[in-house]
Amino acid sequence: MRKRVLSAIFACVFAVGLLAGCANSGQNASGETKSGKRIWKFAHTRAEGTDNDKLANEFADKLTSQMDNLQINIYPNNQLGDYTVVQECAGMGEIQLMLGSMSPSVNSTLSVQIAPYLATSWDEAMALYNSNDGMVYQYVSSQLKKENINLLTVIPKYFGAIMTTKPAKNIETPGAKKGLKIRVPQQKAFEEFGTAIGFSTTPLPTSDTFTALQTGVVDGVSGGGAEQYWNDYGELCKYLYCTKTHMECHWIYMSMDAWKTLSAEEKQIVQKSAKEIEDEAFKLAKSNEKKYIKLFKEKGVEVYEPGDKVIDDYRDYVRKKVWPKIGSEYGSVWGKLSKKIQNQ
């Protein structure tokens, strides 16, 4: 644990201290300078011009137009480090705002957000992930507080899918052998899930996946439509199976150090603005689902869009066969969450 904390400190110093305006501004942990002006660093993981970049800029504009003495500098495309580093830096007060994935490196139970088949429709996803009363959102928020981070909103991205270089066998039957080996995230839940639905699985980090596809180490990858498009998997994989394996979300969160310095009025402005971004992001995610399918087809990818019955078969099969094996990964929330979902 001590080694991990020291590594995080060095990563934060390196990532933040080397950038212009960070080393010589005299800022404290809330982003306030000696002159009283607040300069916040807002990091995100996508390139300029992407949906996340546009949402980050829109959120920043909402805040700076309503709050005095506030400047927000946006750092896209992992300029301040990947999402794990930035999350740790935010907890230390070195970065004020972040939009991106949630790292389970400190608290592995945060992986509950991407547990397989929590939701298979946008209505179900909104009920579980919304910032008002969504059970997944509330749990993630409660855990981030332990890291000195205040969760502001969810940014839904897409339902998970499977891409392969060769056609899968028996794709309409969840438990039947598919005859292929796929890359899965390095989590027990996804190994269990991939095996249960008939694939051989190889856990790999995202950074190694493209090469593994090129060299034939794996025949496919479990992920999501937009993610797989931006990673250029469509250059190698010519079959996309939209089986809605899981819900992928990004999040906007804030250093608790910065949050505590805000007045009651300013906190209301931040919360209202964040909710407006969330509502926009849900609409965007729905439209992107069709957009990326179209883009994949234009690349020559054969897209399989199963009907409701096949999706329901996968959902029911995974909940019956896989969920009992993975609950220990997610801590105390899993019992309540799985029970609520299955009773709907």
**252, 153 Cβ separation under 8 angstroms:** yes
Angle 58-60-66 from CA coordinates, rounded to 5°: 105
Separate counts of helices (H) and strands (E) for the chain: 13, 10
pLDDT digits (tens, 9 = 90+) for 273-322: 999 999 999 999 999 998 999 999 999 999 999 999 999 999 999 999 99
Q: Distance between CA 302 and CA 171 in Å, rounded? A: 13
Q: Environment class of residue 162 by beta-carbon count within 10 Å: exposed (0-12), middle (13-18) or buried (19+)? A: buried
Q: Distance between CA 226 and CA 190 in Å, rounded? A: 19
Residue 99: strand, helix, or coil:
strand
pLDDT, residue 21, reads 39
pLDDT digits (tens, 9 = 90+) for 10-39: 455 555 454 433 434 466 666 777 667 899
Q: How many CB atoms lie within 10 A of CB 177?
A: 13
Residue 16: strand, helix, or coil:
helix
pLDDT digits (tens, 9 = 90+) for 182-200: 999 888 999 999 999 999 9
Mean pLDDT for 75-100 is 94
**45, 101 Cβ separation under 8 angstroms:** yes
Run of H or E residues at 248: strand 247-255
The answer on pLDDT for 161 being more than 90 is: yes
pLDDT band, very low/low/confident/very high, at 226 (cuts 50, 70, 90): confident
Name the token pair of 14: 């390196």
Q: Environment class of residue 79 by beta-carbon count within 10 Å: exposed (0-12), middle (13-18) or buried (19+)? A: middle
pLDDT digits (tens, 9 = 90+) for 95-131: 999 999 988 887 899 999 999 999 999 999 999 999 9
**Secondary structure string (H, E, C) spanning 308-334:** HHHHHHHHHHHHHHCHHHHHHHCCCHH
Mean pLDDT for 158-162 is 95
**113, 169 Cβ separation under 8 angstroms:** no
Q: Distance between CA 8 and CA 80 in Å, rounded? A: 12
CATH for 2-106+250-286 is 3.40.190
**98, 144 Cβ separation under 8 angstroms:** no
The answer on pLDDT for 143 being more than 50 is: yes
